[in-house]
Amino acid sequence: MTRDTIVTADVSHVILPLNRPISDAKVMTGRQRPMTEISLTFVELETREGHRGMGFGYVLRAGGKAQYAHALELAPFVIGEDPNDIPKLWDKLAWQSASVDRSGVAVQAIAAFDTALWDMKARRADLSLAKLLGSYRDAVPTYNTSGGYFGTPIEEVCANADRSIAKGIQGVKMKVGQPDLKEDIRRVTALRNHLGEDVPIMIDANQQWDRDTAMRFGRAVDSLNLTWIEEPVGAHDHEGHAWLNARLDTPIATGEMLSSTRELQQLIDNRSVAFIQPDAPRIGGVTPFMQLVPRAADAGIKLAPHFVMEIHLHLAATFPTEPWVEHFEWLEPLFEERIDIRDGCLQVPTRPGLGLTLSDQARHWTVAHDTVSGH
């Protein structure tokens, strides 16, 4: 039997505008400007037999043009290849990018191809991606982040939390890390008092503290029964996270800013976290993410992937202990489908693959597109 091969790779650059500027602690401390849009690179693959798959990567702030340009460079290397050879193709694309390392923009461009290949494989099997990979559950607990950013008065944060819970979302996350530590503590305490003891609350400092400041904050809020404190120190400070994780009652979470499984493995090896937060589009896609899953599970570390619930819901469903998935509605306009929320959980789609179809609006927001094809 003649094997199927990839004949077309469509690569698109999409700029998704946000409804309002978004600010976290990095803006409050002057390190970044408010975020007004999200840059995405979409890859759509088609084979000689007509099978299709779609994947994407994203960039917050600078780097989107570089990600798209690198994806265009990689596209010719999948033409003529068997789409079932996913690890082989990941390695092939990584070797093309060897001089710019297996991290950062290089692997983030690969992620769009890798995810498209997995989406195609699951579609061919008429299974959701979660079922293809081997899922433990059909629904995953979720918490909302978009309602707790800076620039939002605490009264509005509380109202946003109420709306999230009314939608069936289980927990909420609020941003901290502003220069005034007392104001952070005041806001967190107000949210806990508003929601009561039973609603899970996560706190995210976005790397804005040194170790001593993080310790002071952690000790001040240890009695508030927080689910975790996220990124209290620099993303690459594995030792600092481990030091805090060993000394605070509140669990520590981090990992979203790391762009390779090698860096995430250091968090596991150092016991730096109670919750590890890998981001599949940032570390190279489904393939490296699924390599990390058993390592974290074996170490007794819990899973809470960062952003992109549209992909991470499927991957989190394969984790042996109950994970968390972050709810953001930001990417919803890009797709025709919606993820169901019920009883505090995101319901894993039963549609084949990722279960996603690009919307007409996504096509409207496309600022660049190219097709690479072969025979």
What are 298-353's pLDDT values in tens digits? 999 999 999 999 999 999 999 999 999 999 888 999 999 999 999 999 999 999 99
Residue 28 CA to residue 176 CA, distance in Å, equals 10
CATH 3.30.1950.10 fits 130-347, yes or no: no
pLDDT in tens, 16-46: 998 877 667 677 677 767 778 899 999 999 9
Structure-token pair, residue 240: 């600092």
Percent of all residues in the chain with a pLDDT value above 70, rounded to a whole number: 97
Residue 163 CA to residue 148 CA, distance in Å, equals 12
User: Given this model, what pLDDT does residue 2 score?
Assistant: 63
Residue 182 among the catalytic residues: no
Residue 61 CA to residue 200 CA, distance in Å, equals 29
Q: Where are the domains of the chain?
A: 6-126+359-373, 130-347
Residue 188 phi/psi, 5° resolution?
Answer: -65, -45
Which class does domain 6-126+359-373 fall in? Answer: alpha beta
Mean pLDDT over 261-280 rounds to 95
Residue 62 CA to residue 2 CA, distance in Å, equals 44
Residue 156 CA to residue 152 CA, distance in Å, equals 6
DSSP codes joined into one string, 352-375 = SBT---B-HHHHHTEEEEEEEE--
Structure-token pair, residue 233: 């120190």
DSSP letter assigned to residue 224: G
- pLDDT for 287 beyond 60: yes
Residue 70 among the catalytic residues: no
pLDDT in tens, 49-99: 999 999 999 998 888 899 999 999 999 999 999 999 999 999 999 988 877
Torsion over CA: 90, 92, 96, 100 (sign):
positive
User: Given this model, what pLDDT does residue 375 score?
Assistant: 60
Instruction: Please name the residue that has the structure tokens 């996270």.
Output: 241
Mean pLDDT over 227-243 rounds to 96
For residue 298, give the nearest of 282, 280, 276 by alpha carbon. 276
User: Given this model, what pLDDT does residue 23 score?
Assistant: 66
Q: 3-state class of 282 per DSSP?
A: helix
Q: Which of 121, 175, 238, 312 is catalytic?
A: 175
* Cβ atoms 117, 53 nearer than 8 A: yes
pLDDT in tens, 112-138: 999 999 999 999 999 999 999 999 999
Q: Which of 306, 312, 314, 327 is catalytic?
A: 306
Torsion over CA: 324, 287, 328, 256 (sign):
positive
* Cβ atoms 123, 329 nearer than 8 A: no
Q: In sequence order, what are the beta bridge partners of 39?
A: 15, 59
pLDDT in tens, 207-234: 999 999 999 999 999 999 999 999 999 9
